Amino acid sequence: MYRFLLSVLFFICFSISPVLAQSNLTNTPDTVATSEGELVIHPIVHGTVAFEWNNQTIFVDPYGGATRFEQFDSPDLILITHAHGDHLNPETLSALDTNNATFIVPQSVAEQMDDKYQEQLIILDNGDSTEELGINVLAFPMYNLPEEGARHAKGWGNGYVLTMGGTTVYLSGDTEGIPEMRALTGIDIAFICMNLPYTMDVKQAASAVLDFEPTTVYPYHHRGQDIQEFKGLVDAGQKDIEVQLKNWYADP
C-alpha cells in the first residue's frame, strides 16, 4: 500500500508540475533594440500579441476582451491570421477604438468582417507583402499536415513576417512545422504555436525552431502543452536560441 501511495503521489506531482511551473511565469513586456528605436513586445493572451514601435501600436489577433488592451493607445495596425474565433474575434474588435487602424488580413478573414471595416482592409495572400507605417509585412503560409482535410488549409490563413527597424519578427499563426517555416532565415524573434489537435505538439515545434534558428523564440498559443518541455528540447539542440517563456493565460 505504501508503494502504491508513493506511486500515486509521484504521478500527481509529475502531472501537475508543468502547470505549476507555467503559472509562475509572468507576462511582463520585453524590449528589443532596433535601428529605429525600441520594439516593446507585450504577450497578451493565447495567440494575441501587441507591439509598440516607432510611436505606433500593433495588435496581432486581438482576442480576450477590451480589458486586456486598456494600457495601449488606439491601434495603428491590426494583423489577423485567420477566421477562427480565437484570432478573428468580433466581440473584442468591436470594443476597441479601431477607427484609425489599418487591418492586414487574408481573404477568408475579409469575407467575415463587418462592412464597417472594409475600407480599412489590406488583403494579402500567402507570399504577398506590403509596407505600412514603416513596417514591412510579408504574408507567410500557415497550414496543417497532411493538407487534405486540414482544419487550417494552405492559403486559407496567413502567418506574418514583420520587419521593423531591421528587426524581423515571425508570427506563425496556426500551423504545423511546415517546410516553409523550416526554410526561414534571418529571423530575430519568432512566435511559435503548439496546441494539439489544432496545430502541433512541442516536439514538432522544437524541431522546426531548431531548423530555422531564430535568435529568440516565444512559445505561444500553447494551451494544454508543456512549454518547459519545449524549452528543454530547444536548449538541448545547442543552437544558441533564447527561449522566452511567458504566462499567456494570466487573468486580465
At 44 the three-state DSSP class reads: strand
Distance CA 121, CA 78 (A): 10
The answer to whether the CB of 27 falls within 8 A of the CB of 51 is no
| pLDDT over 90 (residue 246) | yes
Q: What is the pLDDT of residues 31-73, one digit of tens each?
A: 999 999 999 999 999 999 999 999 999 999 999 999 999 999 9
pTM: 0.90
Q: Which CATH class is domain 27-238?
A: alpha beta
**pLDDT cut 70: percent of the chain above it:** 91
What is the average pLDDT across 79-95? 97
What is the model's pLDDT at position 23? 57
What is the average pLDDT across 99-120? 97
What is the model's pLDDT at position 9? 43
Which one of 5-9, 16-20, 149-153, 202-206 scores highest in mean pLDDT? 202-206
Count of C-beta atoms within a 10 Å radius of residue 180:
17
The answer to whether the CB of 212 falls within 8 A of the CB of 235 is no
User: With bands split at pLDDT 50, 70 and 90, how would you rate the model's confidence at 22?
Assistant: low
What is the average pLDDT across 154-181? 97
| pLDDT over 70 (residue 29) | yes
Mean pLDDT of the chain, nearest integer: 92
Supply 29's cell numbers. Answer: 513586456
What is the average pLDDT across 212-238? 97
**Residue whose C-alpha cell is 495601449:** 72
User: With bands split at pLDDT 50, 70 and 90, how would you rate the model's confidence at 4?
Assistant: very low
